[in-house]
Amino acid sequence: MDLQLLRTATMPEHQATEALMPVMKTDLTRVEYAQVLRCFAPIIAGWEAWAATHVPAEYAELIAARKRAPLLERDLAAFGEAMPAPHFVADASFSTPAGFLGAMYVVEGSTLGGQYIAKHVEPLLGIDAEHGTAYFRGYREETGARWKEFQAALLALPDDKAEEVIFAARRMFGLFREAILPLAPLASPAN
């Protein structure tokens, strides 16, 4: 599968989702940041629970080591908050191997952006990976290697599966947008 095609085809959904996020504001507060974590927690925990029981056999090993909900729980605890209940309504398009990877593309891609977000919020809010940014730091020094491992799975897909992957990725971006919609009033294009 052509990864550039996937990136280009999902760019509008990616940008629309990112536009709702206030995390790169220069005046981001701890309260706003904790709200971001609260919005992400149900969908990430829900995805991980669903993925664990619906993963196609060929990707079982790939998904097994990718658990970030406990990191969100730890981050929320650093702000004195409890982990919300998981909430994830799987799209039917996620049920094929190609669709599963399309949904996973969005979740795994967030580990790359998370590194950038963590570098911004840590000095701004006086927090670190042990006290508030574990989720965004994700796999830490293994992030690049895990992304390459995931990319290899995508690259191994035949080109005729591209539309399945793209459709599922777009649907997953939509689920993320729904989850973070409460953050829209906090997002500011000026920052």
The rounded distance, in Å, linking the Cα atoms of 23 and 92 is 31
Phi, psi of 2 (to 5 degrees): -80, 110
| CATH topology for the 3-183 domain | Heme Oxygenase; Chain A (1.20.910)
pLDDT, tens digit, 9 for 90 and up, residues 98-120: 999 999 999 999 999 999 999 99
pLDDT, tens digit, 9 for 90 and up, residues 110-163: 999 999 999 999 999 999 999 999 999 999 999 999 999 999 999 999 999 999
Residue 47 Rama label (left phi>0; alpha psi -120 to 50; beta): alpha
Domain boundaries, the chain: 3-183
